[in-house]
Amino acid sequence: MVDIGKKYAITGGFSMFDYFRFISKVEAQTRAAEVRVVYPDAFCNPYQTRELFYRFMRIAKRHWIKIYVAHNFWETYDPPPEADIIALPARQQCDIKCDKYPRICARRIVDFLMKHEDRPIHLLGPAQKTLRYVLMSRLRIDSIDTTAYHRQIRSKQDKSKLTELLIRWLAGAGIQ
């Protein structure tokens, strides 16, 4: 999966053509059977995110799996029909930081899951407690991504512990 990241979604400081070239390099280097691409998005702005989705779709390869970030999904939800996967922010939802208010974030996600979508659902960077609450609902989540489990890594030697830290982080979220 290739994602431009929250920093660029907030600032908009990226070139779509540079992102396209980056994805093409990743695809060539990994020789992946499928490339999942989080299409460019505008943090907490569903209207601009939809516009960016269509602008990027014009230059992107058609065989990439298109992931649409549904910002503000608890209030406004109008995803492009061309999106293959719907991604829900689960680390920060506009002004709510999910590590501080995991129940609010989880409630929004669970309410969404009960009402919408037959397409696969991806949780973007879920806070551990938020993920735990969502999983307790027993509703379908197709995938997640996170780097939260290795934020405490300081040196190159410690990077060998990433698998162990990921397993512990997932166990803390209720995944065994």
DSSP letters spanning 15-82: -HHHHHHHHHHHHHHHT-S--EEE----TT-HHHHHHHHHHHHHHS-TTSEEEEE-TTTTT-----TT
Token pair belonging to 132: 């735990």
Residues 112 and 155 both lie in one domain: no
- Is residue 63 domain-shared with residue 88, that is, in the same domain? yes
- Segment 37-90, tens digit of pLDDT: 888 888 899 999 999 899 888 888 667 889 999 999 999 898 999 999 999 999
- What pLDDT does residue 160 have? 62
Among the ranges given (23-32, 41-50, 59-68, 91-100), the one the predictor scored with the smallest mean pLDDT: 23-32
Residues 6+ apart with CB under 8 A from 127: 90, 91, 97, 98, 99, 102, 105, 148
pLDDT classification of 149: cutoffs 50, 70, 90: very low
Residue found under tokens 């990077």: 159
Query: Is 81 within the bounds of a domain?
Result: yes
Residues 125 and 43 in one domain: yes
- Residue 1 in domain: no
**Selection from 8, 10, 124, 130 nearest residue 68 by Cα:** 124
Residue 118 has pLDDT above 70, yes or no: yes
Residue 52 lies in a domain: yes
In a domain, 167, yes or no: yes
* Six token digits for residue 144: 């997640």
Residues 77 and 36 both lie in one domain? yes
Q: How many whole angstroms separate alpha carbon 74 and alpha carbon 54?
A: 22
SS (H, E, C) 83-143: CCEEEEECCEECCEECCCCHHHHHHHHHHHHHHCCCCCEEEECCCHHHHHHHHHCCCCCCE
Same domain, 97 and 16: yes
**pLDDT of amino acid 103:** 95
- Identity (one letter) of the amino acid at 170? L
Same domain, 176 and 113: no
- Please report, rounded to a whole number, the percentage of residues in the chain having pLDDT higher than 70: 73
Looking at the structure of the chain, the number of domains it has is: 2
Residues of the domain holding 166: 147-176
Handedness of CA 93, 96, 100, 105 (dihedral sign): negative
Whether residue 126 lies inside any domain: the answer is yes
Give the model's pLDDT for residue 22.
76
Does residue 14 sit in the same domain as residue 80?
yes
Q: What is the pTM of this model?
A: 0.79
> Quick one: 118 and 167 in the same domain?
no
